Amino acid sequence: MSKRQSPYKTGTARITVNYGYDIHSIELSGRSLSLVLKGRGLTLRGQGFPWEGRPDPDNWEFNEAELGSLRVYTDGVGEIFNGNLANGEVWISLDGKDMVLNGQ
């Protein structure tokens, strides 16, 4: 009998947050999404924002404050989003298909 494979182990995921003024996204591998959904702490660097004429890389912290937590911030702009993955202001898609987490 083979081990059951997580449906998130392959593909590309996109996590999008609404931070009040606009939306911002990061792409990650299906494997990274699997780790995040299992509660593993993970910090990724996104493509950033333009700030004072230069790109300001964004940091995405998953599960650092508590299970399901998400914090997005940059060194120049500061905090962009601080919430939970099951929050209505966060959207997750895998290979272009929207996902719904418990609590959403």
Distances, alpha carbon 72 to alpha carbons 1, 15, 20, 55, in Å: 41, 11, 13, 15
Give the rounded distance of the alpha carbon of 53 from its chain centre.
26
Amino acid 101: pLDDT: 65
Beta strands 54-56 and 58-62: pairing type? unpaired
Q: Above pLDDT 90, what percent of the chain?
A: 42
pLDDT at residue 42 is higher than 90: yes
- The whole-number average pLDDT for the span 10-26 is 86
pLDDT at residue 40 is higher than 80: yes
Amino acid 8: pLDDT: 54
Amino acid 2: pLDDT: 45
The CA distance from 49 to 59, in Å, is 11
**pLDDT for 46-91, tens place per residue?**
988 777 888 889 999 999 999 999 999 998 888 999 999 988 788 8
